[in-house]
Structure 1
Amino acid sequence: MTGWLGDTRESYDTVAESYARTVPAMVDDLPVMRGVLALFAERVRALGGPVVDVGCGPGHLTARLRDLGLDVSGIDLSPEMVRLARRDHPGLSFEVGSMTGLGLPDGSVGGVLVWFSLIHVPDEEVPTVVAELHRVLRPGGVAMLGFHVGDQRSHKTQGYGGHPMRVDVYRRPVERVAGWLRDAGFAIETTLLDDPDGDVPAGTVLARRAGGAQDR
């Protein structure tokens, strides 16, 4: 694996242990994040079917979705992240994989969560990722994406305890992300801009694959 995918995998293999010690606990201090995850879970439960957490890291949000009553599994590019997820959440299934090619059957899941894992994907590759999400969702299935908001690219050379990294980080306007989803055949249900006056606002887009009962 080469290029941006290889750099991302290597970087997160390097920081996996320190990431797993610091980032998961932050969810408990973020009420908006807890709220939108609960909304996602409610929407998926109304449809039924399994959920995949794409870019699951050490599995902390995968476990939270399970606690919200979902049949959920995780996929991550980093083998080391997947190892930690399996260690820390032995009752859940985790696999190594790329969001550019999920390796799941067409129409096989009711929901996909892509939570701040799109931030390293170059703009020209995002349509490929969004098309994959659309492909694996059943009609009416729900996708929720979380991401940094802005309009810039920066290069990250270290993080999570000062370990070396080599990844680009993209901040994007909410409407641009929503536009990619619309172009792939999604209907946008909800958009959210969290902490708009902060240094790094957060965006959420909740979208539905057309063709479900809602469209009849």
Structure 2
Amino acid sequence: MNQPTTLSVITMPIPGTHYAPKKFKGDYTRVRDFVLHYERICQANNVTADNEKCSSILQYCSTYVREIIEGMKHFITPSWNSLKDEILQYFDAAKAEAKFKEHHLKQLVDASHKKKMGSLDDFKSYIRKYVRVGGWLLAKSKITQDVFNRFFWKGLPKTLRHHVENRLLQRDPTLDLSQPFVFDNVVKAVEHVLRRDRFDDEDFDSDDSDSDSDSENSS
């Protein structure tokens, strides 16, 4: 009868195998995910001692990265939590936390509202682009929920906004037009307006111009 495997540093996944972290070569965009993945496999294999956690990470790193880690203060005197902080600091994890700013969202919105958005495919493409930037800014508290909602609305072409606003007011005649429309409600309204089974399915052209692009009652 087979004895159950005792989990330890010996059972950590071999580099390059399925459960092992992808080799870390110093990319700042990957360092935080790399460290989190490494901590998960340490936990799964019951690796808790500082000296083992500090030394075992080297096998998942390139030679260049190993040499840097080996020179860190808390690798020499093992303390995993402190070494983790050093790794995140020296490989510039903070840089990945500053990838978007509010002006990136404004640029996306300005470009989007001038384009046609006559199908659900067009709209879904806009949502993906918007959430990638706006959702990240919201999650990092770089913008408020109201700003997130307002910019999303402004990114819709003018003609589509007209149809969507009518739909929202139809659903709720008491809707407060002094506040940005809620993101989820706008999404549902657009999906209704652009639903694929409409008998009169056709493009809603963007007829925005520079002169009226900023005159929004509901933004």
Q: Fold conserved (TM > 0.5)?
A: no
**TM class, shorter-length:** under 0.3
Taking structure 2 as the reference length, what is the TM-score of the superposition? 0.22
Higher strand share: 1
Give the TM-score of the pair, scaled to structure 1.
0.22
**Which structure has the highest helix share of the two?**
2
Larger radius of gyration: 2
